[in-house]
């Protein structure tokens, strides 16, 4: 089984030193969220993830969730762990105190999401969609529905799901067939089938609150006719108590490559009682509140799995002997593999990406809170545009690089990495879903280039580039070699953005073919931007903690020397166009 130590020191460094968003620091509701409080939370989070949840990863992989006589049973130990998990209040961490939550910002809850992803992605998924459902209900439902359902979801006694996909539609939700028929009492009867529903059924909670998109009988075809409904597994009585079973049944559980402890279900809705959330035919707008935040969390999953893969690779490289280096330190036998240049390069690649991603995610967490809570509408909108721009980047880049890092981790472990004994191959299998669900990474890339760079609020990408250009114009002589190199790649991103903008008007196939390359160029430059912010603090406060900051500076140097150049490679590949791709004849 892999070992894991939560990177609390690095997380606290970000919270204490990179909490530099002026608009975020103006939010009154978080004035009392001090470093001491956050440190206490993260240390407790580390304990429950390392001691209670980490062992569940192997258990869930070897004893997957099963469907027995219509009942979904989670792996051994899950029910006991979940009971402790909700008793300690972890489901309520980022929720509104009005409904029993602790009211912590995303700048704190994102760290917990990362830890939980490292410890056991399967276990995490049972509560993750509950927070997504909470956010959607809280933003779009009536006060009656909020008061009736949110306290139990926040407490963790009830869980939530997101029911979009059907056998006939995945990304193209306009093809859905699930129907909603209005009743005299204002409720609806929901009928249809949903597939690939994460935590669609299980035995951890008293009730499961499904958020289901469906089409009213008189609504138009396509995405314009989709509404959103709250459909509980058990009907809830007027007094809040659990009533009879609703018309929902589990058809099957998917047999999957990874995340086997998570029950991914086929759900059948047979005239199940549901209640509309938000306005008729505006269901996708409401659902995307849940999906957009969830996509960021999926990116964090990739980061969390990468972190545990790196930790175990580093530990293994320090104890495994194989071959001799050019500067061997052994007088008899072999050197530890960490002395080999290629292994060191792989480890530094992992480390520089992971720490840069964590810093970028912390920047995005601040922007998210500003977009939701700032008093100034213009400030909120600008932050919202930046979050919208970076959501597909974080979702896709972090998960794609998670595949690279878990693959490298297997390689470092050699034959032991390929066997189940070390648990490294499970990290690869568990992470493989992250580039797929919540919108495949290619869909994210298309969404980025066709919808997010420019919108009704203007030229968002250049506003972002202007922001980071201003924030990386620093005087410190020690940082100038980094900022000079950064400017070179920022100019490439600018040229690439202009190319995309022009090609959108003349040849959309070129844009489609370049979408993934563009996303990665934007991603690698954005991670470099986060590293510049880290370097600024590292040079300024160097004498406070020399060893820590030396590590940061040297890790950043590797990123700028060995990783950031990928941005230019993607640019050069993309601007070759799509003519060969589209004219090629496949036999």
The string of pLDDT tens digits covering residues 566-582 is 999 999 999 999 999 99
Split at pLDDT 50, 70, 90, the class of 97 is: very high
Does the pLDDT value for residue 459 go beyond 70? yes
The CA–CA distances, whole Å, from 408 to 57, 298, 345, 414, 424 equal: 20, 21, 11, 10, 10
Query: Percentage of residues in the chain with pLDDT exceeding 90?
Result: 90
- Identify which of 283, 152, 172 has the alpha carbon closest to the alpha carbon of residue 230: 283
Where are the chain's structural domains? 455-582
Residue 174 confidence (pLDDT) above 80: no
3-state secondary structure (DSSP) of residue 172:
coil
* pLDDT of the residue at 324: 83
CA angle 132, 133, 135 (to 5 degrees): 65
Report residue 170 CA to chain centroid gap: 19
Q: Span 252-265, mean pLDDT?
A: 97
Look up residue 260 and give its DSSP letter: T
In whole angstroms, give the CA distance from residue 229 to residue 242. Answer: 19
What is the token pair recorded at 118? 């490292």
> 199-216: per-residue pLDDT in tens?
999 999 999 999 999 999
Mean pLDDT of the 152-171 span: 92
Show the 3-state SS of 295-357.
HHHHHHHHHHHHHHHHHHHHHHHHHCECCCCCCCCCCCCCCEHHHCHHHHHHHHHHHHHHHHH
The two tokens of residue 238 are 């007027």
Task: Please compute, for residue 385, the number of CA atoms within 13 A of its CA located in the half-sphere on the CB side.
Answer: 19
Quickly state the pLDDT bin for 331 (edges 50, 70, 90): low
Gap between the Cα atoms of 158 and 82, Å rounded: 12
CB-CB contact of 127 with 159 (8 Å):
yes
Does the structure show a pLDDT above 90 at 327? no
Number of Cβ within a 10 Å radius of residue 112: 24
Q: What is the pLDDT of residue 288?
A: 76
Distance between start and end Cα atoms, the chain = 46
Is-contact 150 134, C-beta < 8 A? yes
Q: What integer pLDDT is reported at residue 296 of this predicted model?
A: 95
Q: Could you give the CA distance from residue 164 to residue 145 in angstroms, rounded to a whole number?
A: 21
Mean pLDDT of the chain: 95
Mean predicted confidence (pLDDT) in 453-458: 88
- Residue 284 vs residues 71, 128, 172, 289: alpha-carbon distances, Å: 31, 20, 12, 9
pLDDT at residue 272 tops 80: yes
- Cβ neighbourhood burial of 480 (10 Å; 0-12, 13-18, 19+): exposed
- Cα–Cα distance, 137 to 214 (Å, whole number): 16
Q: Averaged over 412-424, what is the pLDDT?
A: 94
H helix runs in 141-240, sequence order: 143-155
For residue range 67-86, list pLDDT tens digits in order. Answer: 999 899 999 999 999 999 99
The beta strand positions in 60-170, using DSSP E, are: 66-68, 71-73, 158-163
pLDDT of residue 328 exceeding 80, the answer is no
Q: In this predicted model, what pLDDT tens digit does every residue of 229-244 receive, in sequence order?
A: 999 999 999 999 999 9
The pLDDT of residue 169 is 81
Residues labelled as active-site residues: 438
Mean pLDDT computed over 431-447: 95
d(CA 300, CA 115): 9
Per-residue pLDDT tens over the stretch 503-556: 999 999 999 999 999 999 999 999 999 999 999 999 999 999 999 999 999 999
Query: Which residues are CB-neighbours of 322 under 8 A, at least 6 positions away?
Result: 334, 335, 337, 340, 414
Of 354-358, 399-403, 421-425, 453-457, which range is least confident?
Answer: 453-457
Contact 531, 401 (CB under 8 A): no
Residue 151 pLDDT: 97
Give percent above pLDDT 70 in the chain: 99
Name the E strands within 124-254.
Answer: 158-163, 179-182, 188-198, 207-216, 227-232, 234-236, 242-245, 248-253
User: Could you tell me the CA-to-CA distances from 240 to 68, 146, 237, 243, 475 in Å, in that order?
Assistant: 29, 12, 5, 9, 60
């Amino acid at each position: 089984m892999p070992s894991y130590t939560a990177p609390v020191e690095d997380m606290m460094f970000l919270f204490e030193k990179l909490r530099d968003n002026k608009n975020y620091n103006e939010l009154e509701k978080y004035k009392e969220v001090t470093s001491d409080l956050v440190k206490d939370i993260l240390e407790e989070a580390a304990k429950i993830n390392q001691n209670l949840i980490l062992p569940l990863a192997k258990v869930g992989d070897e004893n997957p969730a099963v469907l027995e006589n219509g009942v979904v049973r989670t792996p051994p130990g899950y029910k006991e762990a979940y009971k402790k998990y909700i008793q300690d209040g972890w489901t309520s961490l980022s929720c509104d105190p009005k409904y029993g939550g602790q009211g912590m910002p995303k700048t704190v809850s994102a760290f917990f999401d990362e830890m939980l992803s490292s410890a056991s992605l399967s276990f995490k998924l049972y509560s993750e969609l509950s927070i997504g459902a909470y956010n959607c209900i809280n933003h779009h439902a009536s006060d009656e529905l909020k008061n009736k359902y949110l306290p139990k979801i926040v407490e963790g006694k009830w869980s939530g799901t997101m029911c979009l996909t059907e056998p006939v539609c995945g990304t193209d939700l306009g093809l859905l067939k699930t129907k909603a028929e209005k009743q005299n009492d204002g409720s609806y009867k929901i009928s249809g089938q949903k597939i690939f529903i994460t935590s669609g059924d299980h035995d951890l909670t008293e009730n499961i609150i499904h958020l289901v998109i469906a089409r009213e009988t008189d609504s138009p075809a396509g995405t314009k006719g989709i509404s959103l409904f709250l459909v509980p597994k058990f009907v809830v009585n007027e007094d809040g108590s659990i009533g009879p079973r609703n018309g929902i049944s589990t058809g099957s559980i998917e047999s999957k490559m990874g995340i086997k402890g998570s029950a991914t279900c086929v759900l059948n809705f047979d005239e199940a009682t549901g209640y509309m959330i938000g306005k008729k035919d505006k269901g996708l707008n409401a659902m995307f509140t849940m999906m957009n935040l969830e996509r960021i969390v999926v990116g964090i999953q990739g980061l969390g799995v990468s972190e545990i893969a790196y930790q175990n690779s580093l530990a293994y490289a320090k104890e495994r002997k194989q071959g001799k280096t050019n500067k061997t330190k052994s007088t008899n036998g072999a050197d530890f593999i960490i002395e080999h240049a290629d292994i060191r390069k792989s480890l530094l690649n992992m480390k520089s990406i992971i720490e840069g991603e964590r810093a970028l995610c912390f920047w995005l967490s601040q922007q998210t809170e500003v977009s939701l809570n700032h008093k100034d509408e213009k400030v909120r909108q600008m932050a919202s545009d930046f979050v919208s721009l970076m959501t597909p980047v974080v979702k896709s880049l972090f998960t794609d690089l998670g595949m690279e890092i878990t693959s490298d981790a297997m390689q470092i472990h050699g034959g032991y990495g390929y066997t189940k004994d070390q648990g490294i191959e499970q990290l690869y299998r568990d992470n493989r879903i992250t580039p797929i669900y919540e919108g495949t990474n290619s869909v994210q890339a298309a969404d980025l280039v066709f919808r997010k760079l420019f919108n009704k609020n203007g030229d968002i990408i250049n506003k972002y580039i202007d922001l980071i250009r201003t924030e990386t114009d620093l005087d410190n002589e020690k940082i100038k070699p980094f900022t000079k190199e950064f400017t070179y790649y920022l100019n490439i991103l600018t040229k690439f953005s202009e190319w995309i903008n022009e090609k959108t008007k003349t040849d959309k196939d070129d844009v489609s073919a370049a979408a993934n390359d563009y996303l990665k160029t934007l991603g690698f430059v954005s991670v470099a931007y986060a590293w510049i912010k880290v370097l600024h603090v590292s040079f300024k406060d160097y004498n406070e903690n020399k060893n820590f900051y030396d590590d940061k500076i040297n890790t950043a140097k590797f990123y700028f020397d060995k990783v950031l150049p990928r941005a230019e490679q993607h640019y050069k590949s993309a601007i070759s166009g799509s003519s060969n791709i589209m004219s090629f004849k496949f036999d």
